[in-house]
Structure 1
Amino acid sequence: MRKPSPIADVVMHPVRLRIIQQVGTREITTASLRSALPDVAQATLYRHIAALVDADVLTVVEERRVRGAVERTFALGERMAHVDHDELLEMGSRELQQAFLTFLAHLGESFDRASAADDPRFRDFLGFGETTLHVTTDDLAVIQAGLGELLAPYLAAGGDGRRTVTLATALIPTDGAAPRG
């Protein structure tokens, strides 16, 4: 059995991040991905899709014949498309910085695309800010579990006038001081 690549090695590529963003919580065909990412050459897109499938980040949920070719439909796979805590601990400083900068670049690109649409409702769904928390690692586990429970009803695409938004989080220690007991 092959050892899976560290998730950061797989997803921290700008094209792969864009593919993951397009898939999100829905199912999407290769044709829809080509339409959504017209600036990515077809061969390049297919190569990155294959890498994501090989790493179980994407999974094939359906295959059907379309004009003699096989059209595949994808969804997010078994592995979550994020870097987990254990993988963060294994990264060197340069790898960690590159992963974070890739994340920020992807976030900035998403913002640029959304704001360029010149939709007057854009700001109705926009928000950003930061807050300081005073936590232990156990507190963070409780917060993550609570956020997962809170967000679960909003992860599936649905009608009812809902708009798709991206929620991005980053936890960054603000000082090098030892934890307070």
Structure 2
Amino acid sequence: MRKPSPIADVVMHPVRLRIIQHLGTRQVTTADLRAALPDIPQATLYRHVAALVDADILTIVEERRVRGAVERTFALGNRMAHVDHDELRDMGARELQQAFLTFLAHLGETFDRASAAGDPGFRDFLGFGEVQLHVTTDDLAVIQAGLGELLAPYLADDGGDRRTVTLATALIPGDRAARG
């Protein structure tokens, strides 16, 4: 029996994925989260935030008193908010399939919310596609490092006129027998 992947157990939940996505590289308060995720009941939201804090996915960067209550400000914690290769290798086939389907469902929900918002500029920022690459694991490491460097200037919200977009990636190995 394979050992379960704790970070996958925590992160691969639709509500928790939405919380992580909303945070991105920002710091947000509990009030910000409630405003950004109004369809999630407050008690449910707080329960999922607590699970993310317990798993060190989120960290509390500030606490302050607001009308007698403590308001917390959160940021992504020291653990990366994704499932790494070691954890992917440790997952059983069923667990891996569930994690991937959760990822796809979350991506679909993100698209549904964005397309339903009625924003006339929605399609100006929309794109999706697929391309097949012929790589080794070393090539993938180079590509991922290059993407990290390329995307770094766009990860922080500078408060200007830039718009937030979701860039999702999925690497799915092709069938070796089908090479040609």
Report the equivalent of 2:149: 149
What is the RMSD of the two structures over their aligned residues, measured on CA atoms? Answer: 1.6
SS in 2 for 1:31: helix
Report the equivalent of 1:21: 21
Report the equivalent of 2:56: 56
TM-aligned CA deviation for residue 159 of structure 1: 3.2
Report the equivalent of 2:88: 88
d(CA) in 1 for partners of 2:118 and 2:43?
32
TM-aligned CA deviation for residue 25 of structure 1: 1.4
Report the equivalent of 2:114: 114
TM-aligned CA deviation for residue 30 of structure 1: 0.5
Report the equivalent of 2:126: 126
Higher RCO (CA 8 Å, separation ≥ 6 residues): 2
2:135 is matched by which residue type in structure 1?
A: V
TM-aligned CA deviation for residue 178 of structure 1: 9.8
SS in 2 for 1:62: strand
Gaps of 5+ in 2: none
Percent identity, aligned pairs only?
A: 84
Residue-pair matches, total: 176
SS in 2 for 1:159: coil
2:89 is matched by which residue type in structure 1?
A: L
TM-score (norm 2): 0.93
Q: Residue 160 and residue 44 in structure 1: after superposition, are their counterparts in 2 closer, same or farther (change >3 A)?
A: closer
2:95 is matched by which residue type in structure 1?
A: E
Gaps of 5+ in 1: none
Note the alpha carbon deviations across 1:10-66, whole angstroms, 9 max, x for none: 100111111111111111110111122222222211111011011111111111000
TM-aligned CA deviation for residue 179 of structure 1: 9.2
d(CA) in 2 for partners of 1:20 and 1:147?
20
Residue 68 in structure 1 maps to residue 68 in structure 2: yes
d(CA) in 2 for partners of 1:156 and 1:94?
36
Residue 8 in structure 1 maps to residue 8 in structure 2: yes
2:116 is matched by which residue type in structure 1?
A: A
